Amino acid sequence: MNHLVAIVGPTGVGKSRLALRLAQAFNGEIVSADSRQVYRHMSIGTAKPSPEELSLVPHHLINIVNPNVDFSLAQYQELAYRAIDDIQRRNKLALLVGGSGLHIWSVLEGWGIPQVPPDLEFRHSLEEKAARVGKDELYQELLEVDPVAAQRIDRRNVRRTIRALEVYRGAETSLSQLQHKKAPPFNILIIGLTTHREELYRRIDLRVDEMIKQGLVAEVEGLVNMGYDFALPAMSGIGYKQMGMFLRAELTLAAAIQQIKFETHRFVRHQYNWFRLDDDRIKWFDILDEVESEITTLVAKFIR
């Protein structure tokens, strides 16, 4: 069976829940396409499946590296292909599930990702430059050398801007030129879950409140006690960054929670740049309709 079902869409829309139901219905296994769920000890803030959910269906690419490991897109792609191949060889249905457009499309479109190793000295010099002259200056630099890559990157994401400049310097060519595409050998069905913004924001706000109840503050404290620094890329994610500011007394808890909600709303708007509602490769479903039986029928036809 060389079928691959991808489930995409914004944060908090119910992708994981749908994936679990489909995996149980079609003898499937789930491959996570989430840039944060790869990290151990970071469960609440990354909305990882619960231990019960993980025991119901095999999951891949969750809890595979420590938060201080530099885990690249190229490494993710290689492990995702390996997991999908393994699932298909065992004649099971592979489900690629997540909201990271970068990770999803690198697999579905078969990006050729540059193998340029990290240059810590160069990164540090650019971080210092961003602190000195502002992140916009760095983004402008990227726009000049690689406008295509710059369009894919949120100008506020200093880490990804620096990585694109690092690739340009290390490979002496642009990231976008290196990212040629070679379609993988799968039959692919892409299911998109969506709904109107107000409902998405409402669900996100409830989810953030639930994360606080589950112990997000204690989770971040635990990471600090294990020696993981707030400067690590893994710790810069939404939720962890704001809880760090709270623990350092830079924000009140109420302000940190509000900022997490606001930043997640902003992230959702960014996700729709990756998963466009007019992209005819994606079969979109509004979660406010009764869509599960319709999606189940669609998947059954697809794998028949």
Q: How confident is the model over 10-57, as pLDDT tens digits? A: 999 999 999 999 999 999 999 999 999 999 999 999 999 999 999 999
For position 178, what pLDDT does the model report? 54
Query: Around Cβ 172, how many Cβ atoms within 10 Å?
Result: 8
Q: How confident is the model over 70-112, as pLDDT tens digits? A: 888 889 999 999 999 999 999 999 999 999 998 999 999 998 8
59, two tokens? 């999951």
**In percent, how much of the chain has pLDDT > 70?**
96
Residue 237 has pLDDT above 60, yes or no: yes
Q: What angle do CA 77, 82, 83 make, to 5 degrees?
A: 100
Residue 293 has pLDDT above 70, yes or no: yes
With a CB cutoff of 8 Å and minimum separation 6, the contacts of 115 are 74
Q: Does residue 142 or residue 5 have the better pLDDT?
A: 5
**In percent, how much of the chain has pLDDT > 90?**
72
The dihedral over CA atoms of 5, 9, 14, 15, expressed in degrees to the nearest 10, equals: 20
Residue length, the chain? 304
47, two tokens? 């909305």
What is the average pLDDT score of the chain? 91
Least confident segment among 44-58, 175-189, 253-267: 175-189
For position 33, what pLDDT does the model report? 97
Q: Is the dihedral of CA 281, 283, 287, 288 positive or negative?
A: positive
Q: Which domains are present in the chain? A: 3-113+180-303 (3.40.50.300), 120-178 (1.10.20.140)
Q: Is the dihedral of CA 20, 25, 31, 35 positive or negative?
A: negative
For position 99, what pLDDT does the model report? 94
Q: Position 161: which residue type?
A: T
pLDDT category at 229 given cuts 50, 70, 90 is: very high
Q: How confident is the model over 149-167, as pLDDT tens digits? A: 777 787 888 888 887 788 7
pLDDT category at 174 given cuts 50, 70, 90 is: low
209, two tokens? 């409140």
Q: What is the model's pTM?
A: 0.83
Spell out where the chain has E strands: 3-8, 28-32, 59-60, 93-97, 187-194, 282-286
Residue 176 has pLDDT above 70, yes or no: no
pLDDT category at 143 given cuts 50, 70, 90 is: confident
For position 150, what pLDDT does the model report? 79
Query: Around Cβ 303, how many Cβ atoms within 10 Å?
Result: 14
155: left (phi over 0), alpha (psi -120 to 50) or beta: alpha
